[in-house]
Amino acid sequence: EGINDKMENGTESDISFQNGELLKNYLILEGERVYFDYDRATQDKVSDDVLEMGMLVEAISKDYSEKTFTPDKYFKASWPVHGNYCGPGHNGNNFTLPVVDVLDQGCQNHDSCYKWGAGIGANCECNRQLVNYIKVYRRWMPANVLGVADAIRVYFETVGSIGC
Note the pLDDT tens digit of each residue in 66-111.
777 554 554 444 445 789 998 877 788 899 999 999 999 999 999 9
Helix and strand counts by DSSP (H, E) for the chain? 8, 2
Per-domain residue ranges for the chain? 3-161
In whole angstroms, give the CA distance from residue 125 to residue 144: 28
In whole angstroms, give the CA distance from residue 130 to residue 109: 8
Pair 109, 129: CB distance under 8 Å:
yes
Closest alpha carbon to 67 in 122, 116, 127: 116
Average pLDDT over every residue of 109-118: 86
Pair 161, 129: CB distance under 8 Å:
no
Query: Where does the pLDDT of residue 9 fall: very low under 50, low under 70, confident under 90, or very high at 90 and above?
Result: very low
Average pLDDT over every residue of 133-144: 92
Note the pLDDT tens digit of each residue in 15-54.
777 887 888 899 888 877 888 999 999 999 999 988 988 8
